[in-house]
Structure 1
Amino acid sequence: MTTSFTALGIEQSLVDGLSEYGITEPSPVQAEAIPAILKGADVLARSQTGTGKTLAYLLPILQSINAELNSPQKLVIAPTQELAMQIVREGEKYGQTRGIQVLGLIGGAALKRQVEKLKLHPQLIVGTPGRVRELIEARKLKMHNVGTIVVDEVDQVFQLGGAGDVDRILRSALRDRQLVFLSATVSQETAALVKREMRGPVEIGIDPDQSTAKGLEHFYFAGDERDKMENLRRVIRHYNPKKTIVFVNQTETIAEVQSKLNYMGLSADALYADADKLIRSRVLSAFRSGKFKVLVASDVAARGLDIEGLEMVVNYDPALDSEHYVHRAGRTGRMGRSGLVISLVTNRQIFIMNKFAKELGISLEERRLYGGKVLEPKAASKMQGQPARRKPEGTEQGAKASVSVEGGSTKGSIKSRPNKEESLRTAGPAKTKNEPFRGGKPSERQSRSERERERKNKGAPKWLKDKKRP
């Protein structure tokens, strides 16, 4: 396999820009996609999330842009605002040395301001399907010079209802335009679109039998529904990642999980799909900079997020299906790095984990937290089955029970208290109704001063008691 960007045909100015950010060797998907895109071929690339698909198409389209032509020449469509803005940042980062202008057109932003920026004639347009279609139909975005259309995470675009928008966008472009579709999974809708729109596409499949990145570890923790929040706290405390995304299935649950995490001392914030663009941007910026540790979000809110240093993903609720599991897992372990994917399930939901493991061909095993350690079920059960520690000999007979808690169950050894007969025998004769108790036979009675001295010396060491005796 080719091991340098130069050998793939990338210009030196772009190679130098990559080197500044520590990127010196292409990933497998980049090594296969870049030459095909540079040749102008239609491309369908299927690769796990986090394997470098963005640069696989961004580098060749930046290189093929004519910086002297002040008109949109390349269009990238992304399913979410966040992913679109990430692509814009990457485009600006590597395109500035070639004098290329990049513009993001996303829903939720001011339409009038975007129209004004289009008058500056950017060469690379990145946007969400709905807003791009809106500007095309308003005749504000001219498509007559757009020679390449890229649809990133195409399956997610369709899931979010963008299939009709993509179709209208393709209709507005040149007939001989180049199409590049990329996704971690390829649905039937995507396959049908490829067959209808592409001409002899180059199909790239990196590890088609491996749906998630190789550097990921997948575990699940089973427990009662009522203990899920406590289990979430324990998991985050144990692994102690710098950054974590917690996925929930219902938007209504986001605020509850966020507030409870903060109450437990874990700094957390929330990302809502319907939140204002500025609010979402501020939350993500704070998360990236490490101002808080845990981001709580739904699938829609966190689609396509690329957070540097994200070490762990927690499924507070099980993913809806294996495809959603893949996209959640893809937020961590990016570009060959390691990562953890944790799922919190009830005993009745364990079958879902087995189903995902079978469908995705991954090792998804159960783990348990016990004694501050993460153990396999057999090891945890063995430790829980050990007898409780007994109290050391020499403790008082009348002491309360010694109780040890192991794995949430209460086990203990209780030293019996003296029975009634023993108590009477040691206490001496009982007092009569009208006679005060004096502590035994008349010959054994102590004076008041002696009893007071004994009381004061009760906690003294034995040698001191002996010394003070008359």
Structure 2
Amino acid sequence: MNLTSFEELGITIDLVNKLSEFEIIAPSPVQAEVIPAALQGNDILAHSQTGTGKTLAYLLLILQGINPELKTIQKMILAPTQELAMQIVRESERYGEHKGIRVLGLIGGAAMKRQVEKLKLHPQLVVGTPGRIKELVEMRKIKMHTVTTIVVDEVDQVFDLGSGGDVERIIRSAARDRQLVFLSATVSKATAALVKKEMRHPIEVGIEPEQMTAKGLEHLYFVSQERDKPDTLRRLIRHYNPNKVIVFVNATKDIAEVEAKMNHLGLSTQALYGDADKMARSGVLERFRNGKFKVLVASDLAARGLDIEGLTMVVNYDPPIDSEHYVHRAGRTGRMGRSGTVVSIVTDRQTFIMKKFIQELKTPIGLRTMFGGKIIKPGEEPVTTRTPFVATREEAAPTPFRKSEESRKRFDGDKVTPRKEITSEENRSVDSPVIAKRAEPIQPTQLSSDTPSQTAEVSRKSTRPLSGASKRERERVRKNKGAPKWLKDKQKE
């Protein structure tokens, strides 16, 4: 569809003006396909890459279809997680406030009594998680016969979390002529089965289904040993230096460890736990959106569907369990045509996972390494060239005379008896051994005329091997060096 403005899609002028306040002028491809079909009352199954504007696609048609004069629930939006539900509430209030539309968020973890009190204010739009809304429907606090449109966002994740049964009960409690709109980045078999069961002649919208991730993303992976992962993560964040980055961890028990290590390494980090209470999770997300800290460590459940402005990098500290989770993680960045980087850290044994993702997603994921503070491809490391050392004939020949002289210097501090230098004419070939003449040992009579102090010095040195002593004599002196005096005197006898 070549419609280039929201007015041509059928959106009223007041909503168009509201969109222009937030610099949203032209519709995205998925919005151009979904909005006209949905405005005609058709059931819709839309699957497109994350970050392509699916939320705004159904939100505009819902806000336009609400009559503010009626004090009943007219539209309902179901989301898999508390964070995504509250994010949709904020977007609904932003674009529907000028119309006087009341929006109410109904999520698990919040006080039900307070939610029941807010239902008495007659909201026209209800946004919540399937479990909590099903409870309120069964308590007859929500009247489903007035609901004309039900939207299920991230429908695949709803089934992954085991909420598919809750969704079916909610749909069946509504009127038969209600409109259904399902949206997700991927379509599983469970979703397709529910569509076939509950939708009437649905219109399927698939924007570039062969391209599972956004075009503006760069996908890379680095190989690291398990114990080196924290330092690898630190180096990657330091290199790319994003304003905000989400680090995905598979196991909830590992989140606190990664958070502590990043803080210890000098990166301001906080964690988002899926089992934390509503206030704690909302506080962490609010601080992250406002730039109070740089790194958010989270699990797939906690960060599913989040739209964080200015998020340019996503890191998979652990590889996703399958390609669908990879798509949803990658969708946190590069939204609405912006650029982004998706980096995965894997061990040697996990490289096959990345190759599997490349085949299933038909998306290039490049192997990179860090060298000298730069990101390079393996094999592009600069090669250091050195001039090989070639020994001359004289340098290559063995020199036993010099080695024995140096070893004798270590045993005594006396001056070595001068030796006759072997000239080049006298030097033999490399294959022939060089035989040095042994120096004559120093005789004790040569020291008889010395002073007493000199005599004492000689006596102290007598236990040392003499320069001309035989190998056997030197070995005997070495062994007796630490022996007591009476044993030395006995050996002399």
TM-score of the superposition, structure 1-length normalised?
A: 0.83
Q: Offset at 1:177?
A: 0.3
Q: Is 1:386 matched up with 2:384?
A: yes
How far the C-alpha of 1:257 sits from its partner, in A, is 0.3
Question: For residues 350 and 137 of structure 1, what CA distance do their matches in structure 2 show?
Answer: 48
Give the SS at the match of 1:367: strand
Find the aligned partners of 1:255 and 1:419 in 2 and give their Cα distance. 61
SS at match of 1:377: coil
Tell me by how many angstroms 1:421 deviates. Answer: 3.9
Shift in Å at residue 225 of structure 1?
1.3
Which residue in 1 is equivalent to 2:471?
Answer: none
* 2: CA distance, partners of 1:224 / 1:153: 34
Residue 295 of structure 1 corresponds to which residue in structure 2? Answer: 296
Summarize the Cα distance change of 1:228–1:434 in structure 2 as closer, same or farther, 3 Å threshold: same
Q: Secondary structure at the match of 2:89?
A: helix
- CA 1:434–1:251 in structure 2 vs 1: closer, same or farther (change >3 Å)? same
Larger radius of gyration: 2
Please give the secondary structure, in 2, of the residue aligned with 1:368. Answer: strand
Q: Which residue of 1 aligns with 2:344?
A: 343
Q: 1:310-333: CA deviations, max 9, x gaps?
A: 111111111000011111111111
Alpha-carbon distance between aligned partners in 2 of 1:208 and 1:48, rounded to the nearest angstrom = 8
How many residue pairs are counted as aligned between the two chains? 406
- Corresponding residue for residue 441 of structure 1: none
8 Å contact kept, 1:75–1:149: yes
- The alpha carbon displacement at 1:93 in A equals 0.5
Unaligned runs of 5+ in 1: 391-417, 437-470
Aligned-pair CA distance for 1:280: 0.3
Instruction: Report the secondary structure of 2:197's partner residue.
Output: helix
Q: Secondary structure at the match of 1:144?
A: helix
CA–CA separation in structure 1 for the residues paired with 2:28 and 2:22: 15
Aligned to 2:415: 429
Note the alpha carbon deviations across 1:232-273, whole angstroms, 9 max, x for none.
111111111111111111111000000000000001000111
Would you say 1:106 and 2:107 are equivalent positions? yes
Is 1:125 equivalent to 2:126 in the alignment?
yes
Alignment correspondent of 1:393? none
Give the superposition deviation at 1:386. Answer: 2.4
Aligned with 1:85: secondary structure?
Answer: helix
* Residue 26 (structure 2) aligns with: 25
Matched residue type, 2:252: T
1:432: Cα distance to partner? 8.8
CA separation in 1, counterparts of 2:258 and 2:385?
A: 37
The structure-2 alpha-carbon separation of the partners of 1:230 and 1:420, relative to structure 1 and needing over 3 Å to count, comes to farther
Asked if residue 317 in structure 1 is aligned to residue 318 in structure 2, the reply is yes
- Supply the distance in 1 between the matched residues of 2:342 and 2:456 (Cα, whole angstroms): 74
Compute the displacement of 1:419 (Å).
6.5
Match of 1:462 in 2: none
Taking the TM superposition and a 5 Å limit, the aligned residue runs for 1:373-412 are 373-380=374-381, 383=382, 385-387=383-385
- 2:421 corresponding residue in structure 1: none
Corresponding position of 1:234: 235
Closer, same or farther in 2 for the Cα pair 1:367/1:433, shift >3 Å? Answer: farther
Structure 2: which amino acid aligns with 1:77? L
Partner of 2:397: none
- 1:49-448 equivalence runs, <5 A: 49-380=50-381, 383=382, 385-387=383-385, 421=405, 429=415, 434=457
The letter of the residue matching 1:126 is V
> SS of 1:57's equivalent?
helix
1:135/1:228 CA distance change after superposition, 3 Å: same
2:366 maps to amino acid: E
**Separation in structure 2 between the aligned mates of residue 187 and residue 12 of structure 1, nearest angstrom:** 37
Deviations 1:281-303 (A, max 9, x none): 00000111111100111111111
* Corresponding residue SS for 2:270: strand
- Distance (whole Å) between structure 2 residues aligned to residue 275 and residue 174 of structure 1: 36
Note closer, same or farther for the CA distance 1:264–1:64 as it changes in structure 2 (3 Å cut).
Answer: same
Secondary structure of residue in 2 paired with 1:75: strand
Cα deviation, residue 145, structure 1: 1.1
The separation in 2 between residues aligned to 1:92 and 1:387, in whole angstroms, is 65
Q: Percent identity?
A: 67
CA shift in 2, pair 1:428/1:93, >3 Å: same
Tell me how far 1:186 sits from its aligned partner.
0.2
Once the two structures are superposed, what CA deviation does each residue of 1:152-204 show, in whole Å capped at 9, x if it has no partner? 00000000111010011011101000000000000000001111111111110
Change (3 A) 1:421 1:289: farther
Contact preservation (8 Å) 1:108, 1:276: yes
Counterparts of 1:57 and 1:278, CA distance in 2: 28
How far apart, in 2, do the equivalents of 1:203 and 1:46 lie?
8
SS at match of 1:141: coil
Query: Secondary structure of 1:140's match?
Result: coil
Structure-1 separation of matches of 2:3 and 2:212: 24
Structure 2 unaligned runs (5+)? 389-401, 417-453, 460-493
Give the SS at the match of 2:144. coil
Counterpart code for 2:256: A
Aligned residue identity for 2:319: P
CA displacement 1:16-47 (0-9 Å, x = unmatched): 11111111110000000011111111000000
After superposition, the Cα gap between the structure-2 partners of 1:319 and 1:429, relative to the gap in structure 1 and judged at 3 Å, is: same
Structure 1 stretches of 4+ with a deviation exceeding 3 A read 387-390, 418-425, 430-433
Alpha-carbon separation, structure 1, partners of 2:253 and 2:113? 33
Whole-angstrom CA distance in 2 between matches of 1:171 and 1:386: 71
Alignment check: 8 A CA contact 1:38 1:61 kept: no
Counterpart-to-counterpart distance in 1, 2:253 and 2:154: 26
Verify the 8 A CA contact 1:77 1:84 in the aligned structure 2: yes
* One-letter amino acid matched to 1:18: L
| Alignment partners' CA distance in 1, 2:369 and 2:405 | 48
Q: Per the alignment, in what secondary structure is the counterpart of residue 151 of structure 1?
A: strand
Once the 2 structures are TM-superposed, how far is the Cα of residue 420 of structure 1 from its aligned partner? 7.2
C-alpha distance in 2 between matches for 1:54 and 1:241: 26
CA RMSD of aligned residues (A): 2.0
Mapped partners of 2:329, 2:456: distance in 1? 79
